[in-house]
Amino acid sequence: MSTASDRARSPSIRDVARLAGVSHQTVSRVLNDHPSIRPETKAKVLDAIAVLDYRPNLAARALVTSRSNMLGILSATVGEFGPTSSIASIEEAAREEGYSVSTLNLPATSPEAIGSAVRQLAREQVDGIVVLAPQVRVFHVLRGMAVDFPFVTLQTASGSDGVSLSADQVAGARAATEHLIRLGHTDILHLAGPQDWIEAESRMRGYLDALREADLPTFPPIRGDWTADFGYFAGQELSRRRDFTAVFAANDLMAIGLMHGFRDAGIRVPDDVSVVGFDDIPVAPHVAPTLTTVHQDFTELGRRAVRILLAQIRGEQAPVYGPVQATLRDRESAGPHVARVSR
């Protein structure tokens, strides 16, 4: 008969072994995903773990395995739809593998702030980190720190260490611009993101490549700050000039603000000016007109990051991925260019 103290005591690894009919060393191998364990033995142990609701002592396990079973996320993109979606995907994929996640949002991207955040994650003894840092300078600091745990980045930066994953930003921007060209537009402006942001530079490059290949004129980019407020301001200002018929905005928030600014200035989208955005945020199909934009699979990026990072941590061959394809979502905000006779 069990005593009250027995019932209160959390099940141990030996309890799991006893119920599964194996040694506690075998249970330990199952917990550490050792390749020598037969599938039927692993199934018995996992069943016993489920029945007993056994939860490993992570602190003790870390001493034995030299792992904390914790991943770190270093993010400098607070509030942005794409990174927020990727973080949620990373956390879910990590939980499925038995890992917890510690997320640090950088309040600034100064060398001091980046160094402090990395040192904090090191103190938490993370096994590896995923870096969501859109500015090139973040990678310069990481290179100089010579961190002693693996890291994966979700943006592409020239010369960045670690493994880099990204959506194909250049191809996506090219597709957006080529779509406008196919609609007959020849004077296409670009509402760009801030300088030093990797995505902004990649999207501008795709825009310029498309215009160059079509032998069309280029205009100086309008540098924005990713916000709908700046897009609205740009729409108001651009309404005073009519030397263009289309705008490719580097993200959806600026594109939506731009359309609002045009509307308040009496310019119709897409009858007078066509607009294409980038990111395919959830509200994009629900604005008026619905926003033509470039879709990125942020969830898949997050899952790939965890797969690669765990392979590095375990000393296994990491999977090799190409860029996640970015695809155009054709909606209402981009229409054919119609030549108008001035009166």
* Tens digit of each residue's pLDDT (9 = 90 or more) over 320-342: 888 888 999 999 999 999 765 33
* Tens digit of each residue's pLDDT (9 = 90 or more) over 9-63: 578 878 888 999 998 778 877 776 666 788 889 889 888 888 887 765 544 444 4
Kindly state the DSSP code that residue 35 receives in the 8-state scheme.
Answer: T
**127 near 68, Cβ under 8 Å?**
yes
Q: Is the peptide bond before 11 cis (omega within 30 degrees of 0)?
A: no
**Cα–Cα nearest to 98, from 314, 301, 299:** 314
Output b/e per residue, 22-32; b: 16+ Cβ within 10 A: beeebbbbbbe
The packing angle between helices 169-182 and 198-213, to 10°, is 40
**What DSSP line would sit under 229-275, residue for residue?**
HHHHHHHHHHTT--S-SEEEESSHHHHHHHHHHHHHTT--TTTT-EE
**Cα–Cα nearest to 12, from 63, 67, 61:** 61
Q: Which residues contact 74 (CB under 8 A, 6 or more apart)?
A: 104, 106, 114, 117, 118, 121, 129, 130, 131, 132, 133
Q: What is the pLDDT of residue 298?
A: 84
pTM surpassing 0.85?
no
**293 near 283, Cβ under 8 Å?**
no
Q: What is the pLDDT of residue 340?
A: 52
241, exposed or middle or buried, with CB in 10 Å at 0-12, 13-18, 19+? exposed
Q: What is the Cα–Cα distance from 210 to 173, expressed in whole angstroms?
A: 8
**90 near 302, Cβ under 8 Å?**
yes
Q: What is the Cα–Cα distance from 235 to 265, expressed in whole angstroms?
A: 8
Token digits of residue 291: 């926003």
Tell me, rounded to whole angstroms, the distance of Cα 143 from its chain centroid.
Answer: 21
Question: pLDDT (tens digit, 0 to 9) for every residue of the chain, 343 residues total?
Answer: 444 444 455 788 788 889 999 987 788 777 766 667 888 898 898 888 888 877 655 444 444 445 678 999 988 765 677 778 888 999 999 988 889 999 888 776 677 787 788 888 888 889 988 988 766 667 667 666 666 778 888 765 443 444 567 778 899 999 999 999 999 999 999 999 998 788 899 999 999 999 999 999 999 999 999 999 999 999 999 999 889 999 999 999 999 999 999 999 999 999 999 999 999 999 999 999 999 999 988 888 889 999 999 998 888 888 888 888 899 999 999 999 976 533 3
Q: What is the Cα–Cα distance from 278 to 261, expressed in whole angstroms?
A: 18
